[in-house]
Structure 1
Amino acid sequence: MAFLQVNDVHPITLPDGSVYRDTVYLKNVVDHPRMEIGEYSYYTHSGRPEDTAIILAPYLGHGVRERLVIGKFVQIARGSYFITSSANHPMTGFTTYPFRIFNPETFGYKDLPVKDTVVGHDVWIGHNAAIMPGVNIGSGAIVAAASVVARDVPPYAVVGGNPASLIRMRYPDEIISELLDIAWWDWPLEIIEANLPALTSGDLQALRAARY
C-alpha cells in the first residue's frame, strides 16, 4: 500500500505511531470557492484544520474576484501566508485609507485591479514567507524562510530576501525544460513512489528511463 494517502487530513505519522497534527493536506481541509489546491500539497500551522484557509490567505474572502491556485506536492512551512489582491488599498487619491469598507453601502473595492496568485507544483515555501498579490511561482522553485515575494519566480529558482530576489537557479535551462516536460507530479502515485530513488537523488538518467 502506498505510504502517501491522498485523503488524509494529517499526512504525517511519527515513528512512535502518533499522528503529527500540525501538518495538513490543504485539499482535504480547505473548502473555499476562490482556492484551487492540488493533491499532496501540505501546510503546517498550529490552528484548527477548519481555520486553515483563513490562516493561509487571511484576506481572501468568499466574495473576492481573485483566486489562489496551488499546484500538487507544494510544501508550505509554518508561518507562511498569502496576501491576496483584496488586501490592497486604493492608491490613486491623496489618501490610502479604505473609507469604503466602513460603510455597508459602499463596502469593497471592486474597481481596483486584481490578479490571481498562482503557485506551481513541487514548490517549497520556507518558514514565515509572505507571498504578495498576483505573484506567480513556477514549479520546482524554493522560497527561502522569511522572504517577501513581490514578483514572479521562475521555475526551479531559489529566491530569498525582502523583497525576494534570485539567489540561484537549481539547474541549467535545458534540465529545467526537461523536468517541466517530464512533470513527474502528474504521474500516478504508484509510479512516483516506485521511482523515489531517482526523484530524491537527482538522477536525471533514471528519471528519463522511468518517464510515464
Structure 2
Amino acid sequence: MKELKIWEEIEFPHDTIKSDYVEVGKYTYYAGAYNKGSFAEQSVRYLTEEPNRDKLIIGNFCSIATGVNFNLGGSERHLKEWISTFPFYYLFPDSGAHDGYFPKGDTVIGNDVWIGTDAIIMPGITVGDGAIIGARSVVTKDVEPYTIVGGIPAKTIKKRFSDTEIEKLLDISWWNFDIEDIKKLLPYITSPNIELFIEKASKIKTINEEKHD
C-alpha cells in the first residue's frame, strides 16, 4: 500500500512509548513536526517511574498535534495556601519541609479525539470520545464526548452532533471494530452523513455480536 508523504514525520506512540504509566491506543498518532523529539519527550510532561503515579491513558484513532502537553504533575507541588509556593521539600528533603505533591488521578483521553496544536491538558482530566480540543487551549475540566472546546481555560463551543446521535455513536464504538470492518466503513466515516454511517456501522456491530453469541 502506498503511504502518503505526510506520514514520514508522524509517530504512533502505541509502538514507541516505553513507560508503565502511559498507555496509547492503536492508530493514535502524534504529529510533532514543529517540536522535534519523541511524543514522550515533547508531550508527556512530569512523567516519572515512581510507584503509584498517575497515568496517561489515550484511546484509539486520536489525532495529537505538535506541541500538545499532557501535564502529569499532580498538584504541581506549588500550593497557594502555604506561606511560600516554593517546593522546598525537593531541595531539602531531610529538613522537615512538607511535600506539596498529591495525585490528581489518571488523565484519560477517549477514542477519536482531535487535540490541536500546543493545547495543554491538565492533570486528572477526562476527555470523552470524539471530542475536539482547540489549538492552544488549556483544558482544566472534563470534556464531554463529541464536544468542541477551546480557550484559556477551555470552554464548550458546541456539540458536534445531537444528543441522540452521540448516544448512538458511543453505543456503536466503531474504534473497537476489527480494522477490516473499519475499512469497509471509511466511505461513511469520512462524510457528514451521520444517519447513513449509523445505519452501516450498526449492521456491522450486530453481525459481530451475533458471531460471539
Shorter chain as denominator, the TM-score bin is 0.7 to 0.9
CA contact (8 A) 2:74 2:101 kept: no
Asked whether 1:102 is paired with 2:91, we answer yes
Q: CA deviation at 1:173?
A: 1.0
What is the aligned-residue RMSD (CA, Å)? 2.3
Query: 2 CA distance for matches of 1:118 and 1:27?
Result: 15
C-alpha spacing 1:186/1:160, structure 2 compared with 1 (3 Å): same
> What is the letter of the counterpart of residue 68 of structure 1?
L
What's the CA shift string for 1:81-126, capped at 9, x where partnerless?
A: 1111346124141111111122365899485233110000000001
Uncovered stretches (5+) of structure 1, i.e. residues with no partner:
4-11
Q: Find 1:147's aligned residue among 130, 137, 143.
A: 137
Query: 2 CA distance for matches of 1:113 and 1:36?
Result: 18
CA contact (8 A) 1:39 1:71 kept: yes
Aligned-residue sequence identity (percent) comes to 36
Query: 1 CA distance for matches of 2:133 and 2:76?
Result: 23
What's the CA shift string for 1:7-51, capped at 9, x where partnerless?
A: xxxxx932xxx5743211111111111011111111011434xx3
**TM-score between the two structures when normalised by the length of structure 1:** 0.84
> What is the letter of the counterpart of residue 89 of structure 2?
R
Q: Mark the structure with the bigger radius of gyration.
A: 2
Aligned to 2:28: 41
Asked whether 1:93 is paired with 2:82, we answer yes
Q: CA deviation at 1:56?
A: 1.3
Asked whether 1:69 is paired with 2:57, we answer yes
Number of corresponding residues: 197
Give the match's secondary structure for 1:181.
Answer: helix
Q: CA deviation at 1:54?
A: 2.5
**TM-score between the two structures when normalised by the length of structure 2:** 0.84
Asked whether 1:122 is paired with 2:112, we answer yes
CA contact (8 A) 1:78 1:128 kept: yes
Uncovered stretches (5+) of structure 2, i.e. residues with no partner:
209-213
